[in-house]
Amino acid sequence: MVRKLIIIGSGPAGYTAAVYAARAELKPLVLAGEKSGGQLMDTQMVENWPGTEKGVMGPELMMEMRRQAQRFGAEILDKNATKVDFSQRPFKVWVKEEEYTAEAVIIATGAERVMLGVPGEKELMGKGVATCAVCDAAFYKDKVTYVIGGGDTAVDDALVLTKYAKEIYLIHRRDELRASKIMVKRVKENPKIKILWNTELKEVIGEKKVERVRLIDKKTNKEQVMAADGVFLAIGHKPATEMFKGQLELDEKGHVKVKWGWENEFLTMTSVEGVLAAGDVVDFKYKQAVTAAGMGCMAALDAERWMEKRDE
């Protein structure tokens, strides 16, 4: 059976695309992944989602979006897409040995956080370990926090935290920040932020939440354990596009390229006509749930209109 639309991914972009596509009677199949819901499943309270005055828990928001898509007729499978063939239509998508075909595909596989791989990091994710200061900073009012990294993301996270946290330690493994000069200047001038140069995080310690961190000075090899309430990993994200290499045009960092610009009719179309993309798999700048959802809406509308135009 050739379906009208397959959506790969299930974060805000994937579920929003599913809602719009289902309402347009495209009967989308959503390959949500074995761990569905995207990065918001690891986020605590989301306070910047429009229409939620008191905020909403990340997992709760994702489950609500999932149920909404299902109510309009989207079929959702909690399976990982493992291979694609976009060389001809209908497009092929595999889940291990199981093959699905569709007239159009929306890619909403999002991005994967870059982890350090230190003890305690994975176990305490969402319990004091976080990857988005914009999302979670308000939970650390008058707390002691640590930001790991030295680029623009890390510096921006540290500055965001100054509105709430009592102390912010910026942990950088080198002796010079890689962020833009104006951002570095702001960090160095902020009395709440202390930069620990040539330092690496070795362990996150805590039972049910973050309690301490173990750090090591790379020059002296001296270790120290310090009290902590929060640890923000800001060493970057990588778009989840490994499966699409050789199938679609990607930028130098692995994001799927789409046809932004007024001269193009379908702004979310990729280098392969009929394959569209939305969310963090495309977005190299904003990386917010609401922008991902917006792009999911755009991709579904583009897919619908592209199929209508093709059939004219």
Domain that holds residue 243: 2-112+237-311
Q: Count the domains in the chain.
A: 2
Question: Catalytic annotation on 297?
Answer: no
User: What is the model's pTM?
Assistant: 0.77
Name 308's Cβ contacts closer than 8 Å, sequence gap at least 6. none
d(CA 119, CA 214): 10
| Whether residues 198 and 213 fall in one domain | yes
| Whether residues 133 and 206 fall in one domain | yes
d(CA 66, CA 112): 20
Spans of the chain, pLDDT less than 50? none
Q: What's the CATH number where 133 sits?
A: 3.50.50.60
Among candidate residues 42, 78, 135, 280, the one labeled active-site is 135
d(CA 243, CA 228): 38
Q: How many CB atoms lie within 10 A of CB 187?
A: 22
Question: Catalytic annotation on 136?
Answer: yes
Question: Among residues 173, 203, 233, which one ends one of the domains?
Answer: 233
Measured CA angle at 43 (ends 161, 146), to 5 deg: 35
d(CA 125, CA 129): 5
Q: Would the CA dihedral through 297, 110, 135, 194 be positive or negative?
A: negative
Contact between 155 and 139 under an 8 Å Cβ cutoff? The reply is: no
| Whether residues 229 and 119 fall in one domain | yes
| Whether residues 152 and 77 fall in one domain | no
Quick one: CA torsion of 38, 158, 153, 55, rounded to 10 degrees?
Answer: 30
Question: Among residues 217, 233, 249, which one ends one of the domains?
Answer: 233
| Whether residues 200 and 247 fall in one domain | no
Q: Could you tell me the two tokens for 120?
A: 């305690």
| Whether residues 140 and 213 fall in one domain | yes
Give the H or E element holding residue 7: strand 2-8
Give backbone dihedrals phi and psi of 283, rounded to 5 degrees, phi first.
Answer: -75, 110
Give backbone dihedrals phi and psi of 47, rounded to 5 degrees, phi first.
Answer: -105, -5
Question: How far is CA 166 from each of CA 77, 131, 148, 194, 218, rounded to the nearest angstrom?
Answer: 44, 19, 17, 11, 26
**Nearest in space to 113 (alpha carbons), one of 8, 240, 266:** 240
What radius of gyration do the chain's Cα atoms show?
21
Residue 118, pLDDT score: 96
Residue 312, pLDDT score: 67
Among candidate residues 42, 132, 157, 302, the one labeled active-site is 132
Among candidate residues 42, 78, 136, 229, the one labeled active-site is 136
User: Residue by residue, what is the 3-state secondary structure of 25-59?
Assistant: CCCCEEECCCCCCHHHHHCCEECCCCCCCCCEEHH
Question: Among residues 233, 265, 292, which one ends one of the domains?
Answer: 233
Residue 55, pLDDT score: 87
Question: Catalytic annotation on 251?
Answer: no
| Whether residues 178 and 201 fall in one domain | yes
Question: How far is CA 46 from each of CA 17, 63, 165, 289, rounded to the nearest angstrom?
Answer: 20, 14, 18, 9
Q: Running DSSP on this structure, what letter comes out for residue 206?
A: -
* Complete DSSP assignment for 151-202: SHHHHHHHHHHTTT-SEEEEE-SSSS--S-HHHHHHHHH-TTEEEETTEEEE
Q: Would the CA dihedral through 207, 209, 211, 214 be positive or negative?
A: positive
